[in-house]
Amino acid sequence: MQVPEKPWLKEMLRALKPGGTIFIYDYRISDPRNPDTVGIRKSEIRRLFPGLSLKHRSLTLAPPILRRVVPVSPLLAFVVECLFPFLRTHAVYVLERRAQRA
């Protein structure tokens, strides 16, 4: 496994025990109006955490849509989120270091 250059990342990998898990919930889409909102893609997570198994899922309907739809119907917000996954702005990434066999 390649050692990352960022100290915080190096420490995360050092502290992760075999069988351990890292959860990341973050933007997957950048906001062009806000330079502080930078999306991170699955490919970037793979690059940062080589050698760990990765599962991911997009979540969270875009907040501007949520703010309009939820007051009308939370169920409608759920349906829109399910039917239109491209409107989801966040993702959860689950990284695991496989346990070593004895």
Characterise 19 by phi-psi region: left (phi > 0), alpha (psi -120 to 50), beta (else).
left
* pLDDT, tens only, 43-86: 999 999 988 999 999 999 998 999 999 999 999 999 999 999 99
Counting residues of the chain whose pLDDT is more than 70, the rounded percentage is: 94
Beta strands in the chain (DSSP E): 21-27, 53-61, 88-96
What is the average per-residue pLDDT within 17-40?
90
Q: Please report, for residues 44, 49, 65, 81, the alpha-carbon distance to residue 75 in angstroms, rounded to integers and kept in the order given.
A: 33, 36, 13, 10
- Whether 3 shows a pLDDT value over 60: the answer reads no
pTM: 0.80
